Amino acid sequence: MILENNDTIGIIALSGECDREKVELSKKYFETLGYKVKLSKNIFDTNRYLAGNDDTKVDELHSFFEDKDIKLILCARGGYGCIRLINKINYNIIKSNPKPFCGFSDITALLLMIYKNTGLVTYHSPMACSDFALNINEKTKNNFFKAICGNNLEFEGTKIYNNGSAEGILWGGNLATVVSLCGQDFIPDGHFLFFAEELNEPVYKIDKMFQQLLNIPQFTKNCKGIILGDFLDVDNESWLQEYFEELSKRTKLPVAGGFKITHSEEKITLPVGKPAKLEDKKLYIG
């Protein structure tokens, strides 16, 4: 798709409670770019650490997909809450009204479940409050619009743990959120390249989360390569690197790291479900 002037972007709160100032700043930013913006009805709702009631969130998600004026759905922020929604969603509504659905971190749960249940490509991307309100990074913005407009993409990492090439759809996201889906039918049926990032987790938990996935036969059968983003604020960087070396030897898969898949300001946008190729430390999409 191509977003045009006066197209409407829907900003929706599906996870943690939102900061009013950041929501309003992001709305204003997109309006200065020439877009209209529609906010979900619950955007300023609060329920403990959540952006309001689960049923309201799901109703708004359905409504945003059904709204013909909304051309792209952008999540306001992450935090926590999306796994509370995944079994309440009517995926047929989404499948019948395809449009880009975008976010990262906790939103990973929805990116993967929407793809699994509908085949719709979703976007592991920057979000309204975290990326389009304050200190807007130009590379982040440009990567975002290039990806959602369906262009072929090429990214390069900084480190090869295991060289080689592999092909499959792109699939993954925030590691802890991916693992939170264990118990669901969520892993792709065909070959995929697994990408992951994380924040504020000790190395032993990163090890444990990868192990949870590697213990699933469908994951080990269909995963053909591993793409590592940032693992920020870990307790021991040398242990992390040792673990990634171990991971590459155990899986015998092509493994590359240093991609800007991250909670930091500069980040790339990755289309979940789109065909891709990992060749040493280069990633080709489309």
Instruction: State the 10-residue block means of pLDDT for the chain, 286 residues long.
Output: 90 98 98 98 98 98 98 98 98 98 98 98 98 96 95 96 98 98 97 98 98 98 98 98 98 98 98 98 96
Distance in angstroms (rounded) separating the CA atoms of residues 124 and 147:
10
Residue 40: predicted pLDDT: 98
Superfamily holding 153-285: LD-carboxypeptidase A C-terminal domain-like (3.50.30.60)
Residue 195: predicted pLDDT: 99
Residue ranges matching CATH 3.40.50.10740 in the chain = 8-148
Residue 166: predicted pLDDT: 98
Please name the residue that has the structure tokens 């891709």: 276
Q: Look at residues 271, 285, 283 and name the one whose alpha carbon lies nearest to residue 102.
A: 271
Asked if 105 is an active-site residue, the reply is yes
Q: Of 17, 197, 198, 201, which residue is the catalytic one? A: 197
Instruction: Output phi, psi for 151, to 5 deg.
Output: -70, 155
Q: Token pair for residue 85?
A: 């929604």
What is each CA distance from 269 to 24, 81, 206, 232, in whole angstroms?
23, 22, 23, 18
Among 3.50.50.60, 3.40.190.10, 3.40.50.12160, 3.40.50.10740, what is the CATH number of 8-148? 3.40.50.10740
Written as one letter, the residue type at 285 is I
Residue 3: predicted pLDDT: 87
Q: Look at residues 226, 200, 204 and name the one whose alpha carbon lies nearest to residue 214.
A: 226
Q: Token pair for residue 60?
A: 């708004």
Asked if 125 is an active-site residue, the reply is no
> What percent of the residues of the chain are helix, what percent strand, and what percent coil, each to the nearest 5?
35, 25, 35
Asked if 198 is an active-site residue, the reply is no
End-to-end CA distance of the chain: 14
Residue 264: predicted pLDDT: 97
190: Cβ contacts below 8 Å, ≥ 6 apart: 168, 169, 222
Exposure b/e, 37-52, CB count within 10 A at least 16 = b: bbbbebbbbeeeebbb
Distance in angstroms (rounded) separating the CA atoms of residues 284 and 279:
8
pTM of the complete model beyond 0.95: yes
The CA radius of gyration of the chain, in Å to the nearest whole number, is: 18
- Do 85 and 78 touch, CB atoms closer than 8 A? no
Q: Of 26, 40, 105, 130, which residue is the catalytic one? A: 105
Residue ranges matching CATH 3.50.30.60 in the chain = 153-285
Strand partners, 284: 154, 277
Q: 3-state DSSP call for residue 52?
A: coil
Strand partners, 46: none
Using CB atoms within 10 Å of the CB of residue 36, give its burial: 0 to 12 exposed, 13 to 18 middle, 19+ buried: middle
- Do 132 and 126 touch, CB atoms closer than 8 A? yes
Q: Token pair for residue 251?
A: 């899986």
